[in-house]
Amino acid sequence: MDKRDEQNEQDEQKVEACIRILEEQYGVPRAEIMDPVDLLVMTILSQNTSDTNSLRAFGNLKKAFADYELLLNASTKDVAESIRAGGLADIKARRIRETLLKIKQDRGMIDLGFLGDMGEDAAMQYLLALPGVGPKTASVVLLFAFGLPFLPVDTHVYRVSRRLGLIPEDVKLEKAQTILERIVPVEKYLSVHLNMIRHGRLICRARGPRHGECALRIYCDSFQAEPKALNDSNNHPQSALR
Ligand code: SF4
């Protein structure tokens, strides 16, 4: 086995180990089938706010408008009022209305079910062409609503995977998804997305990561680079792979 094969094998072992440890800690997530338009609206509402606030805003929006046609007929101001709990209400209300309007103009109805039949690349391109929809939002919709092979990378997934050394330090967020999709088994995309978000919120926080409580530390490049970690053989990855 040459050096490159050896490195690839070690990388694969590391990814598998991290996925297994996160699943032991947080469980194996199951996809709940959701309407893709609901998912799209929820993902827009989740931008720059907490889950609690965005879920509350989504609940209020659904209460205020029995369906998305009614929402389109309402003013941006009324939509913004209904989602006030989620923050950036005026911007998000405008974005939601523009997005729904574009779907309606394209398809004659506010429905994204057709994405499941058009092939994964075409489905991604369609979503990216909608106002305010970026790769993360599009990937969330395609993974969660249709089970298509996309691994959405948010700020938590990006931070945790960089610290672990699964992606190089200098890789930008936009490129991180391509690298992770190459090294994570497709059937684990959902698991990695959800469990890394949990881990990033609870343990591998942006400020003050809780290394001492982290079950991934023996595989973590960032932790291993700290002088204290290197001096402790129990914290060394080779001791786990042996
Ligand atoms: S050891 Fe520290 S830096 Fe590494 S994944 Fe755990 S909390 Fe994050």
Query: How much is the average pLDDT of 184-207?
Result: 96
Q: What is the pLDDT of residue 103?
A: 97
Range in 53-57, 84-88, 185-189, 235-239 the model is least confident about: 235-239
Residue 239 pLDDT exceeds 70: no
To the nearest 10 degrees (0 to 180), the angle between helices 51-64 and 36-45 is 130
| CATH number belonging to domain 9-29+153-241 | 1.10.1670.10
Give CA–CA dist 58/38, Å, rounded: 9
CATH architecture of the domain formed by 36-146: Orthogonal Bundle (1.10)
- Find the 66 Cα to ligand 1 centroid distance in Å: 44
Q: What is the pLDDT of residues 53-97, one digit of tens each?
A: 889 999 999 999 999 999 999 999 999 999 988 888 899 999 999
The structural domains of the chain, with segments of one domain joined by +, span 9-29+153-241, 36-146
DSSP 42-62: HHHHTTTS-HHHHHHHHHHHH
Residue 6 pLDDT exceeds 90: no
Q: What is the pLDDT of residue 237?
A: 54
- Mutational pocket test of ligand 1: of 156, 163, 201, the residue with most ligand atoms within 8 Å of the beta carbon: 163
Question: Which protein residues are within 6 Å of ligand 1, measured from CB?
Answer: 160, 163-164, 203-204, 209-211, 214, 216-217, 220, 222-223
Cα angle 41, 57, 132 (rounded to 5 degrees) comes to: 35
Contact 132, 95 (CB under 8 A): yes
Centre a 10 Å sphere on the Cβ of residue 163 and count the other Cβ atoms it contains: 21
Residue 1 pLDDT exceeds 80: no
Residue nearest to atom 4 of ligand 1 (CA): 220
- Find the 205 Cα to ligand 1 centroid distance in Å: 8
Contact 189, 148 (CB under 8 A): no
Q: Which has the closest alpha carbon to 166: 13, 28, 24? A: 13
Phi, psi dihedrals of residue 110, rounded to the nearest 5°: -95, 85
- Find the 226 Cα to ligand 1 centroid distance in Å: 11
Location of structure tokens 């994204």 = 112
Q: What is the pLDDT of residue 236?
A: 55
Model's pTM, two decimal places? 0.88
Q: Determine which one of 136, 172, 175, 188 is catalytic.
A: 136
